[in-house]
Amino acid sequence: MEGRSQEFKQRVEKLGRIRESGVNPYPNDFKPDSCLKDIFKDHNGKTKEDLEGMDSCFTVAGRVLAVRSFGKAAFVKIQDRTASLQVYLQRDNLTDIWPIAKKIDAGDFIGIKGKLFRTKTDELTLDAESFTLLTKGLSPLPEKWHGLKDVEARYRQRYVDLMVNPDVREVFRKRTEIIRLIRKYLNDRDYLEVETPMMQHIAGGAAARPFVTHHNALDTDLYLRIAPELYLKRLVIGGFERVFEINRNFRNEGTSTQHNPEFTMLEFYEAYADFEDLMKLTEDMVSGIAQELHGSTKVMYQGTELDFTAPWKRLTIKEAVLEHSDATEEILNDRDKSLEFLREVNPRLPEGWDKLSHGKIIVEIFEAIGEENLIQPTFVTHFPIEVSPLSRKNDKDETLVDRFELICAGREIANAFSELNDPIDQRERFVSQVKEREAGDDEAQPMDEDFLRAMEYGMPPTAGEGIGIDRLVMLLTDSPSIRDVILFPLLKPEAKQESKEQEETQNNKKGKKA
């Protein structure tokens, strides 16, 4: 109890008095028969007289959000998963339980059975005929008017954030709805939803640093996946011509408003499709989701209108750079001139910058100046082959691949390509990746012999795409940070406030080991 707030201690004492009076403060046999939203839906149109003529009782349960108490009566606002509703408690109706009912606190859960009426100010209200304490809350709720604002507290104690900030609940409901709509869209197109390994012996399918873990029984290191790509393609090879997976990827990188080390990715693969088909599919799917969610394909994001109405703009990566900088074709078509230009737009380059290939230089230039200027949804195409070891070569220009990135609000939302299905070419690409890895690029992809073995059986012509779900949800819920669309974003652990008992336990453990 030491270190607890005064109010916490008072509530614990109150809890004790409730128990002494013979009332169980944590019963679990109360069954509501109505949710609050349905009560509004069915009865909010009714007049005072309509309600007086109605004989039906409603049994509801919820968390107490606010109490306005009089001597022998009280108005209490309760909230369930669907809505909030005012309840009227009167001493003369509640008799035995009144002493407890009048002592409830904001944060408690209560159950009420009663009849609907309208107050003098015309608010639909449930007049309690019986009252049941369902859970005593010990920690006080945040301020009723301002709610919980402290960003760190909101992330660390998301449960409190959700209790008191309805707009936060709404964001996460929309997140779930978006994922539901994606599933429906793909299921309707005969895609098969699958699950592939999160723990992999070879972390391939993307350029990123993985987390490492260890399997004790097999005594082997494993990586948390950075992408499901190579497994989903194995499934296409196996005959599942349309597959998708919505699941977590893990990348061992820093956090930002755009990055969380674990994030949710949709990946889908369709045989006999190419990357242009996927552009159409993406336009159709995302604009449809915006329409379902907002009733419009135009969505406000951080003060800017994003127009998801199909078709979306398409630019080659060079066009995107030319459109948003003073670079010229002459510069971009020459490796050394491009490098010089890159140094102007990005003076602080990673180590080994002078050895960058022409293709990588173009991508670096795009990321430095092109990407952030693409606000409306735009497909950026014609990526260089050096940065695309899993993509099919372009038939007309072997330095390019049939790939696009979807950029919106200045950030990458999706990445897709016609899949490389030539096993000989794929092996060569892996070999050059391994060389880059040996040269110090720890994001270059490792050799995956089993994947090659699979591809050697023949993979049908296929296109595949990954869509960052968190970022898509950000755009569709007007959220400025990825942490606003991830229920429990990764934070550093809080400063330890170990109790003496814990300290002793730990010391004992240390002592035993020593």
Phi, psi of 230 (to 5 degrees): -70, -30
Is 125 a binding residue for RNA by CB under 7 A? The answer is yes
Return the number of the residue (163 or 400) whose C-beta is nearest RNA.
163
Sign of the alpha-carbon dihedral angle for 433, 439, 444, 448: positive
Contact with RNA (CB under 7 A) among 66, 194, 198, 447? 66
Identify residues 366-385 at the interface with RNA (CB under 7 A).
368
Return the number of the residue (3 or 511) whose C-beta is nearest RNA.
3
* Closest C-alpha among 267, 310, 262 to residue 289: 310
Is 209 a binding residue for RNA by CB under 7 A? The answer is no
SS3 at position 107? coil
Q: How far is the CB of 173 from RNA (least distance, A)?
A: 22
Return the number of the residue (199 or 491) whose C-beta is nearest RNA.
491
Contact with RNA (CB under 7 A) among 41, 68, 453, 509? 68
In contact, 138 and 8? CB cutoff 8 Å: yes
Q: Are strands 124-135 and 109-118 parallel, antiparallel or unpaired?
A: antiparallel
Residues 6+ apart with CB under 8 A from 17: none
Near RNA by CB under 7 A, which window of 118-126, 378-386, 432-440, 454-462? 118-126
Q: Where are the beta strands (DSSP E) in 419-485?
A: 462-468
Is 194 a binding residue for RNA by CB under 7 A? The answer is no
* Closest C-alpha among 319, 325, 322, 287 to residue 306: 287
Is 348 a binding residue for RNA by CB under 7 A? The answer is yes
Q: What is the DSSP letter of 14?
A: H
Amino acid at 65: L
* Closest C-alpha among 210, 240, 193, 226 to residue 454: 240
Is 71 a binding residue for RNA by CB under 7 A? The answer is yes
Q: How far is the CB of 330 from RNA (least distance, A)?
A: 25
Contact with RNA (CB under 7 A) among 355, 492, 510, 513? 492
Is 424 a binding residue for RNA by CB under 7 A? The answer is no
Is 44 a binding residue for RNA by CB under 7 A? The answer is no
Q: How far is CA 100 from the centre of its chain?
A: 41
Q: How far is the CB of 374 from RNA (least distance, A)?
A: 15
* Closest C-alpha among 37, 4, 377, 342 to residue 173: 37
Round to whole Å and give the CA distance between 482 and 47.
Answer: 45
Print the binding letters for residues 257-296 with RNA: x by CB under 7 A, - otherwise: x---------------------------------------
SS3 at position 173? helix
Print the binding letters for residues 240-259 with RNA: x by CB under 7 A, - otherwise: --------------xxxx--
Q: How far is the CB of 292 from RNA (least distance, A)?
A: 28
Contact with RNA (CB under 7 A) among 346, 376, 394, 432? 346
Residues 6+ apart with CB under 8 A from 141: 65, 106, 107, 160, 163, 164
Q: Which residues bind RNA (CB under 7 A)?
A: 5-7, 10, 14, 66-73, 75, 86, 88, 90-92, 103, 105-106, 117, 119-123, 125, 139-153, 155, 254-257, 346, 348-349, 368, 480-481, 483, 489, 491-495
